[in-house]
Amino acid sequence: MAKVIQIRDVPDDVHAALTEQAAAAGMSLSRFALRELEQRSRISRNAEIFAMLRELPGTRLAAAEIVEDIRAERDRHG
């Protein structure tokens, strides 16, 4: 079930910048903020996954391979 987040005390300059960015993306401020939060949560999960992979014996990923995999996943999801 979807949840509601309310953010208080947003500085005027931050609000103005986000409103501007949302308009440039053709989105409402609410939708734009949700998109940014979704992206942030995916980045956090990726970091956790890579940390777990580093702990596995015999698992070594080169930085270039990691970047390539992330880009491919982003491309796949648009």
Asked whether the beta carbons of 19 and 29 are under 8 A apart, the reply is: yes
**How far, CA to CA in Å, does 75 sit from each of 8, 54, 68, 72?**
34, 24, 11, 5
Residue 68 forms part of a structural domain? yes
Asked whether the beta carbons of 33 and 18 are under 8 A apart, the reply is: yes
CA angle, residues 14, 20, 22, in degrees to nearest 5:
100
Residue 45 forms part of a structural domain? yes
Residue 4 forms part of a structural domain? no
Amino acid in position 64: A
pLDDT in tens, 31-62: 999 999 998 888 778 778 878 877 887 767 77
Q: What's the domain count of the chain?
A: 1
In this prediction the pTM is 0.57
- For 2, list phi and psi in degrees, rounded to 5: -70, 145
Residue 1 forms part of a structural domain? no
Residue 2 forms part of a structural domain? no
Give the mean pLDDT of the chain.
88
Residue 7 forms part of a structural domain? no
Instruction: Find the domain containing 28 and state its range.
Output: 12-77
Residue 44 forms part of a structural domain? yes
